[in-house]
Amino acid sequence: MGKRQERDPKFEALETVFFDFCWEYGNDRISLDEYNKYRGIYDKIRQRIMGASVGHDEIPPKYENMIQIPAGDFIMGSSKEEIKHLISEMVPKYPQFQLWFFEDEMPKRKANLGTIWMDKFEVTNLQYSKFLSSQEGSSVTSPRSWDDRKVPPGKGNHPVTGVDKFQASAYCKFLGKRLPTEAEWEKAARGTNGNIYTWGNNLSVRDVNTAEIGRHDTTEVGTMRDDVSPYGILDMGGNVMELVIDGYKPYPDNDAETEKAKRAFVDREGWAVARGSSYEGVLYDARGANRRYFSPSHQGKDIGFRCTTD
Ligand SMILES: [Ca+2]
């Protein structure tokens, strides 16, 4: 994108228009070809405004179906007040939820990341099957949710599930990518304003695949209208929980009060972390700051993943 020129209003206006195109592409309203066409026009106008030559910056094939998350600050984690408020809201409806479940999200702080790219969709069964057929004789095994190394009938475009962190990492590595870190996943889900959910801050959404809609199974990726992050990344709220690369550990300066939370940091250290809610989880669990941990070899029927790259 070249050097950012913050104070030129013409440039700011152009950026706003171009951001709309990014959003349209992110929401599947325009194709990659169309996006690249607009990108070309954007570069030419910017060159005219700025009077400086800029590189034509098409999305290379490696990044197809990935979304660029520009470098910069974002909000990570939750404050103690937010956790306590959450519990007061949840408990009347879900008495099983307790304060210590969420104390690992603290503290709320500003963080910073460089530019990354993240998959727009959860990795699908069909994609995983193509990878698997290239792995004959290797130690990568078929997902636990499959019968006899075959994609479950009618579920080619559904997210792959029943994979552990090793299987998920092997898939990403095969494509020259990797699993996202917790920070990367959270920025992609919450945007730069610290949204509580991918779609914003309210719970009055209808089209997110969590237990509330009563489907109790995966849906085809990218089909839930409300489950769209500020960057146009889809299904980060629900469908399947998503494995990340980090092992479970307390965030620096975490000040959990309960013994149970402190105990989990010791007993579950290094466990696999998954983010977001799922078709079996509740909408509250779709909060961008929410962290779940699992035994590293756990192959959950509502756990999948997506890839990231620099
Ligand atoms: Ca998801």
What number is the average pLDDT over the span 256-260?
97
CB-side exposure of 282: number of CA atoms within 13 Å? Answer: 9
Q: For residue 85, is it within any domain? A: yes
- HEC string of 88-152 equals HHHCCCCCCCCHHHHHHHCCCEEEEECCEEEECCCCEHHHHHHHHHCCCCCCCCCCCCCECCECC
Average pLDDT over residues 109-124: 97
Task: Print the domain residue range for 134.
Answer: 66-309
* 13 CA distance to ligand 1 middle (Å): 33
pLDDT of res. 149: 83
116: β partners: 69
Region 81-103 average pLDDT: 93
Residues near ligand 1 ion, CB 5 Å cutoff: 235, 239, 276
> How would you classify the pairing of strands 109-113 and 291-294?
unpaired
CB-CB contact of 265 with 286 (8 Å) = no
Whether residue 303 contacts residue 278, with contact meaning beta carbons closer than 8 Å, is answered with yes
Alpha carbon of 258 to ligand 1 centroid (Å): 29
Alpha carbon of 277 to ligand 1 centroid (Å): 6
pLDDT single digits (tens) 55-79:
545 677 789 899 999 999 999 999 9
Asked whether residue 171 is domain-assigned, the answer is yes
Alpha carbon of 125 to ligand 1 centroid (Å): 14
Q: Is 294 inside a domain boundary?
A: yes
* CA distance to 36, 125, 275, per residue, from 306 (Å): 24, 12, 11
Q: What residues contact 112, with CB distance under 8 A and at least 6 apart? A: 71, 72, 73, 74
Ligand 1 centre and the CA of 136: distance in Å? 28
Answer whether 79's CB lies under 8 Å from 108's CB. yes
The mean pLDDT value of the chain amounts to 89
User: What pLDDT was estimated at residue 26?
Assistant: 60
Q: In angstroms, what is the span from residue 235 Cα to ligand 1's centroid?
A: 4
Residue 240 Cα, ligand 1 centroid: separation in angstroms?
4
What distance in angstroms lies between residue 241's CA and the mean position of ligand 1's atoms?
5
Asked whether residue 16 is domain-assigned, the answer is: no
Q: In angstroms, what is the span from residue 36 Cα to ligand 1's centroid?
A: 27
Average pLDDT over residues 78-92: 94
Alpha carbon distances (Å) from 83 to 88, 156, 245, 260: 9, 38, 25, 15
Q: What is the pLDDT of residues 204-251, one digit of tens each?
A: 878 999 999 999 999 999 999 999 999 999 999 999 999 999 999 999
* Domain presence at residue 5: no
What span, in angstroms and rounded, lies between the C-alpha atoms of 48 and 8?
13
Burial of 176 per CB tally in 10 Å (0-12, 13-18, 19+):
exposed
Residue given tokens 């530019």 in the structure block: 115
Q: 241-247 and 303-304: which strand pairing?
A: parallel
> In 10 A of CB 74, how many CB atoms?
23
Q: What is the pTM of this model?
A: 0.81
Domain harbouring 261, CATH code: 3.90.1580.10
Task: Tell me what pLDDT residue 42 has.
Answer: 73
Q: How far is the CA of 45 from the centre of ligand 1 (A)?
A: 37
Q: Which of 151, 123, 142 is nearest to 305 (CA)?
A: 123
Please tell me the predicted confidence (pLDDT) of residue 255.
96
297 burial (CB, 10 Å; 0-12 / 13-18 / 19+) is exposed
In a domain, 267, yes or no: yes
Query: Residue 165 C-alpha to ligand 1 middle, in angstroms?
Result: 15
**Amino acid in position 18:** F
Domain count, the chain: 1
- How many Å lie between the centroid of ligand 1 and the Cα of residue 121? 8
Q: For residue 234, report the distance from its CA to the centre of ligand 1, in Å.
A: 8
Secondary structure E strands in the chain: 66-69, 72-76, 109-113, 116-119, 241-247, 272-275, 291-294, 303-304, 308-309
Ligand 1 mean position, distance from CA 98 (Å): 23
How many A from CA of 203 to the centre of ligand 1?
A: 17
Nearest to 228 by CA among 22, 16, 23: 23
Distance CA(42)–CA(74), nearest Å, equals 26
Q: Considering the domain boundaries, does residue 21 fall inside one?
A: no
> Across the strands, what pairs with 25?
none
Yes or no: say if 104 and 286 are a contact pair by the CB < 8 Å rule: no
In a domain, 43, yes or no: no
**Residue 304 CA, ligand 1 centroid: distance in Å:** 8
